[in-house]
Chain A
Amino acid sequence: MTTLWVLCEPKGSGVSTTSLELVSEARRLDGDVTAVTWGDHDVATELGRHGVSTLWHLGSFADQLPAAPVAAALAALLADQDIDGIVIPASYDGRDIAGRLSARMDRPVLTNVTGLLVDGGLVTEHPLFGGTMNARARVTSPGVAIIVVRPKSFAIEDRGAGAATVIPAPTVSSTVAVASIVHSSITERSGPALEDASIVVSGGRGLGEASAYALVEELAQLLGAAPGASRAIVDAGWVPYAYQVGQTGKTVKPTLYIACGISGATQHLVGMKGAQHIVAINTDKDAPIFAIADFGIVGDAKAILPQLIAALRARV
């Protein structure tokens, strides 16, 4: 029997999508799921519905980076538990919490996990080299395994169960100086959210200049898609970071992914290779993106995109 706890990260008035993915997977591996959360919203109903029976609540931690106080409270809570592992979403805060928890509990941390299995103990799967190889790892010393799981690794399952029982965790004061959030700025964007869109149209450095990204946006709008980007053009300041797809950006799993002027670096591929269909437009016939594309065009994106937009407009 493998006992996995799930750290559920608050987002908006609920929890993050990745948290629900982890709860669903924990429920598949272990019939009875215990989760841990923090924040000011009541998430017991949402988590209960997805299979959480017991929900520990660590505190509010409003207006500050949660990593230090969450890790302090979580470490104290886990000290008395005999469990195999705690799974944590691979988000900004999730990664920081996992790091601090690892140092505080003196336990190793396994990151970039995309699969979990039980094989004489808990085994984690990690994509290597842009997902062309798959490594399996495990914790060798006795105690809890701290496991950070990438978004979109598991399917969400709604079990229609009742609300989880909430238990307030003992208060632990962290001795680390508070990192205060003074102000939050949200990048406005139209259309579907990148992570949830069923079609994503992404642009890369091959577009040549920032103004050519308008073609990507126009195509996205026509298809009801979300516009995305490679890191090269985010770093260049053409589009905001919130558009970035890949290892250090968003993980997307749409029905269709259209890559325009993107070479297909491994760090980009890990963020999109789960797409059902991939279309690539690139002037270089040897670009790595073509190795995973279902339909590739060797050609100039700046010539092809306007033609495609015109062809699609002509149909409606």
Chain B
Amino acid sequence: MHVAVCVKQIPDPSVAPRLDASFHLERTAKILLDEADAYGVELALQLVESAGQGQVTLVSMGRDSDVTGIRGALAMGATSAIVVSDEGLRGADALTTAKVLASVLAELNADLVLAATESSDGYTGTVPAQIAELLGLPALTFATTVQVADSTVTVHRQTEDGFDEVRAPLPAVVTVTAGAVEPRYANFKGIMAAKSKTIEVRSLNDLGLSALAQAWGEEVVGVTPSPSRQAGTTIVDDGQAVSALVDYLDSIKVL
């Protein structure tokens, strides 16, 4: 079984994000693997392990100057990685990202393509569906459990009021929610093995997609601070806080 996992390296989310003059996220913070992607990597490893054989290929778009996050996923056990890196993709929109990833995925021809439901920094949340459409594949999105048997994938898909059990033939695209599986920590052996695993870097030109460079059809025209909510009163609980809270609830007429 060959599972491809779309992963993204993002600036450390614990560092407050900032925008540069052209409204792109400043990438000065440490670059990490998006935590949301760890679930897809773990699931891929589990599926290949239970199939008895196969490989897990990581596919990513982003700068190749720092690939620590990708190495981390290889240390978890993924087989190899392909990173598409090109100055012409800086600030790329969701559709361009999907076209780039789909072009690599088309070549890999994996049985299953996994991705997170959305990235933690951009959270457009449309890239997996765009990839599925570009590849002509079904997409089972927002999966909380995933099972593969007899060339069929079955998932529990989150809904507004519970879940649906959804099924499609392979190959398919599946997006996994946080909590679907428990990502493993890379052990020493994994970390050592990852050092010699292949991270193949490709440019737009290598993919025959030079026309995509800086060619997306949307732009940010401005960013302004939102009218902020004023903080109200904060009191320290000294045993009397509840009666003050009840007075407050009375004053806003909700009791």
Nearest-CB residue, chain A, relative to B99:
A103
Write out the residue numbers on chain B whose beta carbons fall within 8 Å of the beta carbon of A100.
Answer: 129-130, 132-133, 139
Interface SS of chain B: helix, strand, loop or mixed? mixed
A95 and B218 contact, CB distance less than 8 A: no
Majority SS at the chain A contact face: mixed
Q: Are A136 and B245 in contact (CB under 8 A)?
A: no
The listed residue (B144, B161, B223) touching A133 by CB distance below 8 A is: B223
B229 touches A292 (CB 8 A): yes
> Chain B, interface size: which category?
35 or more
Smallest beta-carbon distance A68→chain B, Å = 7
Q: Which residues of A contact B131 (CB under 8 A)?
A: 103
Residue B208, interface by CB 8 Å: no
Report if A308-B245 is in contact (Cβ < 8 Å); known contacts: A108-B216, A186-B162.
yes
Shortest CB-to-CB span from A191 to chain B, Å, is 14
Cβ contact within 8 Å between A99 and B158: no
Residue B149 is within 8 A (CB to CB) of chain A in the complex: no
> Which residue of the partner chain, among A137, A273, A300, contacts B220 with CB atoms under 8 Å?
A137
1-56 of chain A: CB within 8 A of chain B: 11
Q: Are A92 and B223 in contact (CB under 8 A)?
A: no
Does residue B241 face the partner (Cβ distance < 8 Å to A)?
yes
Q: Would you list which residues of chain B between 98 and 152 have a CB under 8 Å from chain A?
A: 98, 117-118, 123-134, 136-142, 144
> How far does the alpha carbon of A242 sit from the alpha carbon of B144 in the complex, in Å?
13
Q: Choose from A134, A242, A293, A299 the contact partner of B226 (Cβ within 8 Å).
A: A134
**Chain A residues near B137 (CB, 8 Å)?**
176-177
A residues in contact (CB < 8 Å) with B: 11, 65, 67-68, 71, 91-92, 95-100, 102-104, 106-112, 123, 127-129, 131-141, 143, 148, 175-187, 198-199, 223, 231, 234-237, 240-242, 247-248, 250, 255-256, 273, 276-279, 285, 290-300, 303-304, 307-308, 311-312, 315
